[in-house]
């Protein structure tokens, strides 16, 4: 059975994509830990990040780095958190989260009903910022 991320990648479940290429996708989390929280997910369904090739791991990190810089520019948090936990969905995904403290990385505090209009606006802004940075 496909993971929820595979279903998102195949268009079976809608998502707000900020980036896509042949190897990965990035989209806004529907249960954000903080405003602008994005997930970077390989197209290939791989359970644990340690099972990625070093090339794929580097590519995901490169995309996460660009997203983090766009988040920093747009949202001006104190830091950009990067986390790979892997317990929520058995498909590698990097959390790129604008944070102001370690408490912002607490999954128990995720926003279960973010404003859809705000998510749409953030998606557009992040996509444009990534394009301007050369990550189309």
Is residue 91 annotated as part of the catalytic site, yes or no? no
| Contact in structure between 67 and 18 (CB atoms under 8 Å) | yes
Q: What is the CATH number of the domain that holds 113?
A: 3.30.428.10
| Section 2-25 average pLDDT | 97
| Contact in structure between 97 and 80 (CB atoms under 8 Å) | yes
Q: Which token pair is 125?
A: 């802004």
Catalytic residue among 37, 59, 91, 93: 93
Given this model, what pLDDT does residue 135 score? 84
H-helix or E-strand containing 19?
Answer: strand 17-20
**What is the average pLDDT value for the chain, to the nearest integer?**
96
Range of the domain at 121: 4-132
Strand partners, 19: 26
DSSP letter for each residue of 66-108: HHHHHHHHHH--SEEEEE---SSSSS--EEEEEESSGGGG-GG
| Section 10-35 average pLDDT | 97
pLDDT tens column, 68-112: 999 999 999 999 999 999 898 999 999 999 999 999 999 999 999
Q: What is the total count of domains within the chain?
A: 1
């Amino acid at each position: 059975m496909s993971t929820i991320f595979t279903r998102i990648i195949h268009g079976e479940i809608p998502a707000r994509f900020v980036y896509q290429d042949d190897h990965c996708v990035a989209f806004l989390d529907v249960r954000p830990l903080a405003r602008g929280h994005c997930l970077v997910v390989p197209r290939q369904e791989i359970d644990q990040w340690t099972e990625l090739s070093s090339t794929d791991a580097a590519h995901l990190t490169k995309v996460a780095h660009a997203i983090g810089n766009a988040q920093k520019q747009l949202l001006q948090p104190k830091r950009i958190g990067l986390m790979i936990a892997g317990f929520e969905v058995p498909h590698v995904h990097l959390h790129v989260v604008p944070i102001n403290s370690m408490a912002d990385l607490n999954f128990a505090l995720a926003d279960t009903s973010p404003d859809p209009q705000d998510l749409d606006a953030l998606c557009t802004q992040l996509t444009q910022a990534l394009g301007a940075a050369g990550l189309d």
